[in-house]
A and B are shown apart, each in its own frame.
Chain A
Amino acid sequence: MIAISNITKSYGTGGNKNQVLKGISLQIADRDFIVILGASGSGKSTFLNVISGLERPDSGSVVYGTSDITKLTDEKLTRFRRDNIGFIFQQYYLLPNMTVEKNVRMGADLTGNREYREMINAVGLEDKTGKYPGELSGGEQQRVSVARALAKKPKVLFLDEPTGALDERTGRQVLDYICRLHKEYSFTIVMVTHNQNIAEMANTVVKMNSGNIAEVYTNERRKTAYEIGW
Chain B
Amino acid sequence: MIIGMKDTAKLVGISVIAGCAVFVCTLFLNYNIDIAAIKGEITTEAGMAMYQAQVSTGKVTASVSGGCLVLTSVVMLLFYVKNYIDTHSKELGILKALGYSGLKIAKHFWVFGLSVFVGCIFGYVSAFFYLPSFYDLQNAEQLFPEIKAQLHPLLAFFLIGVPAIGFSILAVIYACLRLRHPVLDLLKEKRGYKIKVNRGVTKDRPFLKDLAGSTLRERKTLVFFVAFSAFCFSAMVQMSMSMEKLSSKTMAVMIIVIGLILAFMTLFLSLSSVVKGNTKTIAMMRVFGYKYSDCSRAVLGGYRPFSYVGFVIGTLYQYVLLKIMVGIVFADIDNMPEYSFDFKKCAVTFVLFILTYEIVMYSYAQRIKRLPLKSVMLE
* Contact surface of A with B, Cβ cutoff 8 Å: 49, 54-55, 75, 78-83, 85-87, 89, 91, 93, 95-99, 101-102, 105-110, 129-130, 132, 134-135, 152
**For the complex, is B356 an interface residue (Cβ under 8 Å from A)?**
no
Q: Are B193 and A132 in contact (CB under 8 A)?
A: yes
Residue B337 CB within 8 A of the other chain: no
- Which of A93, A98, A108 is the one whose CB lies under 8 Å from B211? A98
Contacts of A81 in B (CB 8 A): 287-289
A102–B189 touching, CB < 8 Å: no
CB distance from A193 to the nearest CB of B (A): 17
By a beta-carbon cutoff of 8 Å, the part of chain B in contact with chain A is: 188-190, 193-194, 199-200, 202, 206-208, 210-211, 214, 218, 280-281, 284-292, 373-374, 377
Contact (A105, B207) CB under 8 Å given A96-B189, A96-B193: yes
Distance (whole angstroms) from the CB of A84 to the closest CB of chain B: 8
**Residue of B with least CB distance to A46:** B374
Q: Contact at A49–B374, with CB atoms within 8 Å?
A: yes
Q: CA separation between A78 and B291, bound complex, in Å?
A: 7
CA distance A66 to B119 in the complex (A): 62
Query: Which of A96, A107, A132 contacts B288, CB < 8 Å?
Result: A107
Indicate if the CB atoms of A110 and B374 lie closer than 8 Å.
no
* Contact of A110 with B288 in the complex, beta carbons under 8 Å: yes
With contacts A85-B289, A106-B211 known, what are 15 further pairs, Cβ within 8 A? A75-B291, A78-B286, A82-B289, A89-B377, A93-B284, A95-B280, A97-B214, A102-B207, A105-B206, A106-B207, A110-B289, A110-B290, A134-B193, A135-B194, A152-B289
Q: Is the CB of B202 within 8 A of A101?
A: yes
Rounded to whole angstroms, the CA-CA distance of A37 and B207 in the bound complex is: 35
**Cβ–Cβ < 8 Å partners of A96 in chain B:** 189, 193
B202 touches A79 (CB 8 A): no
Q: Which of B194, B211, B288, B373 has the most chain A CB within a 10 Å cutoff?
A: B288
Q: A78-B291, A109-B208 are in contact. Are A54 and B194 (CB under 8 A)?
A: no
Instruction: Report Cα–Cα, A95/B206, bound state, in Å.
Output: 15
Chain A's nearest CB lies how many Å from the CB of B86?
11
